[in-house]
Amino acid sequence: MITNTELEKKGNLFPSKLVSYEQNGDSICFTSENGVQLIITVVRDSMLRFRYATDGIFENDFSYAIDEDQSHGYSVLDLTEDEEFIWITTEQIKCRINRVDMRTAMFDLEDQLILQDELGFHWEESFEFGGNYVKMSKNSMDGENFYGLGDKPTTFNLKGKRLSNWNTDQYAFGKDLPELYKTIPFYIGLHSAKAYGIFFDNTFKTHFDFCHERRHITSFWADGGEMNYYFIYGPKIAEVVTKYTNLTGRPELPPMWALGYHQSKWSYYPEAKVKELAAGFRDNKFPCDALYLDIDYMDGFRCFTWNKDYFPEPKRMVEELEDDGFKTVAIIDPGIKIDEKYEIFADGLEKDYFCKRADGPYMRGKVWPGNCVFPDFTNPEVREWWADHYKTLIAETGIKGVWNDMNEPAVMEVPGKTFPLDVRHDYDGNRCSHRKAHNIYGMQMARATYEGVKKYIFPKRPFTITRASYSGGQRFSSTWTGDNLASWEHLWLANTQIQRLGMSGFSFAGTDIGGFADQPTGELFTRWIQLGVFHPFCRVHSSGDHGEQEPWYFGEEVLDITRKFVELRYQLLPYLYTAFYQYCEDNVPILKPLVYFDQEDVQTHYRADEFIFGNHFLVCPIQEPNVQGRRMYIPRGRWYNFWNDAVIEGGKELWVDAALDSMPIFVKEGAIIPKYPVQQYVDELEIEELSLDVYYKNGKQNSVYYEDDHDGYDYKMGLFNLRSFKLTGKSKEIIVQQHVAGTYESNLKTMKVTFHGLPFEIKSASVNNEDVSLESIGYDKESNTIILQENFTDLRLISE
């Protein structure tokens, strides 16, 4: 097994002294005496790319991760040299290249060392596979902490961990497993209150060691391919994350219904059962937007078919569900049943679209349908073919979303649970083996699915979800964390994983609420719903072999409490949708871990129970049974307890009461939170009045609210509104100004504004700079509310 045994340098080869360098546009190519080449490309003022070739031969420059549409550009590129070093200076960073051994170091413009090579680039020749194991080691700085790496089921701060990336079907996975379903080889380092990121864009099996093997060394390496990584400077974590997300691509805005509550199980069938489920939600007045059909809807698990005994008229059923406010989402797996009478198998065979072993035979493997072959989604023609199959599901049957699963790819009853490494792939014309294509197989399947759903659902927006992915996969799909377990430990993991995914560019993520395997108690289910309503993707899913997991199954009390929290999610939909807009438009993660929120406060560096939801909510799940509250850290600033408006000065840990029907939720002072009335599903009501909850602050605070049609593409042609609110609070006055950018004509007529924590009694008011009577704005003293026209621009409330 390859390890990072740099201590004992046996087998490792290194660049020797620099003999020449040459600039070619935004790239500088350095050559060593022993023929190693390093190309450093200035991608942006704060982003450099490093590529190494051990014998001067670079691979075709192709990446599935990088978003071709991303904005490039930098303003300064200075190349200078002295006796010992060559220097590349941009407007934000300096890179130093050592003449003796080509080791590099990064500095900010104040000459603070941010990151430097320890052994730097080195490699080991792999006689077994050909090519190299490519390795990099860096000195870790004093007090440095590490974050990122996608879905890893371990502590949020990665210091001291060794992890790897090899997409794996991990049923009922355990804490600290090094590999799960996704590969996101991106991490953030933070020291001296400054942050940088490393994106190691290599799809082979990759490894990361964060001061695990050696206390002061961080290293990353791959079982093949190129040492090809991006250095991204912050200095704010927020900047690193948004730049990484921009580099690997942002998704389009999902339809708003996808932000509602979703219910799934393996499996709801036949039709009568699905209808009963739908009725269960409406009868119990429990909001729900989507119902999922797991593999049993198909005919013998053949993709794009229906079991007509269970679902005799799928189109009618889907329509009837839709009339009742439910969208139907159906699962599609990659395995195609070997069955000559099955059209997709026969067609794929004829077109030569299935993956083959090195010596020619098809890659055969067992999945749900029995023996299967697998489309090579790394072939663009195959992706198009696959996309076209969605015509039947989407355009002809009315399915609104597609769920891709088992796309690690998972194979049953074989060691390694996946394809053998010799399987061949097209890799968009860069032919390769499964060693290179494994980690992007799922992403390319999700991409094909996304293209298909998008094409046939038009003019509406697509919704897709995938289990496996690679960096950049966020462009094509939402995701969930796979087959978790109904345990308190997994509730803790759920919290960590979704925050981590958000830091890794993948915000639209959720967990199987309640746990996939085993059965949650009513208490665990309740606590998980409380967390889940604050996750960008909110779905209850379970394996179905251990009893029911619908909210009403656990009795009245659980039903009432979980309903209350799901209703809160529906009330917060305009707030959440705005956070999605900021994610899709500005690459800002929807959940912000505390260290993202305030990296200068060292208290946040190891804490990850608490997180910021959107821009203004501080949330902390209860992760233990039988408790009436918990200690938690309140980050710096002033916060309102959501339940009773008590104001707390942050920067300290404290006990917060949270009996089963509650959880710790706080709102940042100065925030203006847009809210909808409770609906049973998105767009059930035509909403003419938006609630604005205004949390008084002595000082200034900005908030935004984004609105559009909730679906479709008109927003891309400018039909949206971005309402910016500016709050200015003084001891005897509060001013709220609204600026509306956009031309969207919504149904909104009025805004019901509720003031929290006003330190004075309202005596007089002006709206749009004209004095008005309190009656004319519907002032209600008891609830501290007023009603304004939706297009007000300036509101002043005064204590005299």
Q: What residues are annotated to the active site?
A: 405, 408, 483
Which CB atom, from 376 or from 405, has the smaller least distance to ligand GLC?
Answer: 405
By CB under 6 A, tell whether 638 contacts ligand GLC.
no
Running DSSP on this structure, what letter comes out for residue 235?
Answer: S
The DSSP letter of residue 171 is T
Query: Can you tell me which of 331, 445, 446, 468 binds ligand GLC, judged by CB under 6 A?
Result: 331
Q: Give residues with Cβ within 8 angstroms of 21, minimum separation 6.
A: 28, 29, 30, 31, 86, 97
Q: Helix axis angle, 380-388 relative to 434-457, nearest 10°?
A: 40
Q: Which of 405, 523, 693, 711 binds ligand GLC (CB under 6 A)?
A: 405
CB of 298 to ligand GLC, least distance (A): 10
CB of residue 267 to ligand GLC, shortest distance in Å: 7
Task: Give me the least distance between CB of 514 and ligand GLC, in Å please.
Answer: 13
Say how far apart CA 288 and CA 615 lie, in whole Å.
25
* Residues 6+ positions from 312 with CB-CB distance below 8 Å: 271
Minimum CB distance to ligand GLC, residue 263 (Å): 13
Please name which of 449, 330, 308 lies closest in space to residue 390, comparing C-alpha atoms. Answer: 449
Residue with the two structure tokens 């950049």: 472
Residue with the CB atom nearest ligand GLC in the bound state? 266
Is 335 one of the binding residues for ligand GLC (CB under 6 A)?
A: no
Closest CA to 572 of 614, 537, 540: 614
Using CA atoms, how far residue 67 sits from 64, 246, 377, 473, 620, in Å, is 8, 8, 18, 10, 34
| Binding residue count for ligand GLC, defined by CB under 6 A | 9
Paired tokens of 142: 């004093």
Contact string 375-394 vs ligand GLC (x = CB under 6 A): --------------------
Q: What's the min distance (Å) between Cβ of 331 and ligand GLC? A: 6
Tell me: does residue 482 bind ligand GLC (CB under 6 A).
yes
**What is the closest distance, in whole angstroms, from the C-beta atom of residue 301 to ligand GLC in the complex?**
9
**Residue among 537, 519, 524, 522 nearest 489 (CA):** 524
Q: Which is nearer to ligand GLC, 498 or 620 (CB)?
A: 498
Residue spans of beta strands (DSSP E) within 245-339 = 261-263, 290-293, 327-332, 336-337
By CB under 6 A, what part of segment 539-568 binds ligand GLC? 541
Instruction: Give min distance, CB of 292 to ligand GLC, in A.
Output: 9
Q: Give the rounded distance of the alpha carbon of 110 from its chain centre.
A: 33
Query: What residues numbered 248-287 form the site for ligand GLC, per CB under 6 A?
Result: 266
- In the bound state with ligand GLC, the residue whose beta carbon lies nearer, of 425 and 467, is 467
* Residue placing its CB nearer to ligand GLC in the complex, 410 or 573: 410
Q: What is the largest CA-CA distance in the chain?
A: 87
CA distances to 690, 751, 790 from 747, rounded to whole Å, are 10, 12, 10
Binds ligand GLC (CB under 6 A): choice among 105, 295, 367, 457: 295
Which CB atom, from 412 or from 740, has the smaller least distance to ligand GLC? 412
The answer to whether 206 and 164 have CB atoms below 8 angstroms apart is yes
CA 260 → CA 290, 459, 539, 540, 681, distances in Å? 8, 20, 9, 12, 7
Distance CA 541, CA 490 (A): 14
Identity of the residue, 159 or 467, whose beta carbon is nearer to ligand GLC in the bound complex: 467
Nearer to ligand GLC, 442 or 650 (CB): 442
**Residues between 219 and 248 that touch ligand GLC (CB under 6 A):** none
* DSSP sequence for 500-529: HHHHTT--SEE-EET-SBS---HHHHHHHH
Shortest Cβ 41–ligand GLC spacing (Å): 39
Closest CB to ligand GLC among residues 374, 706: 374
294 is a contact residue toward ligand GLC (CB under 6 A): yes
CA 219 to chain centre: 25
In whole angstroms, the minimum distance from the beta carbon of 571 to ligand GLC comes to 29
Q: x/- string (CB under 6 A) for ligand GLC, residues 502-541?
A: ---------------------------------------x
The answer to whether 177 touches 151, Cβ cutoff 8 Å, is no
Closer of 179 and 483 to ligand GLC (Cβ):
483
Residues in touch with ligand GLC (CB under 6 A): 266, 294-295, 331, 405, 467, 482-483, 541
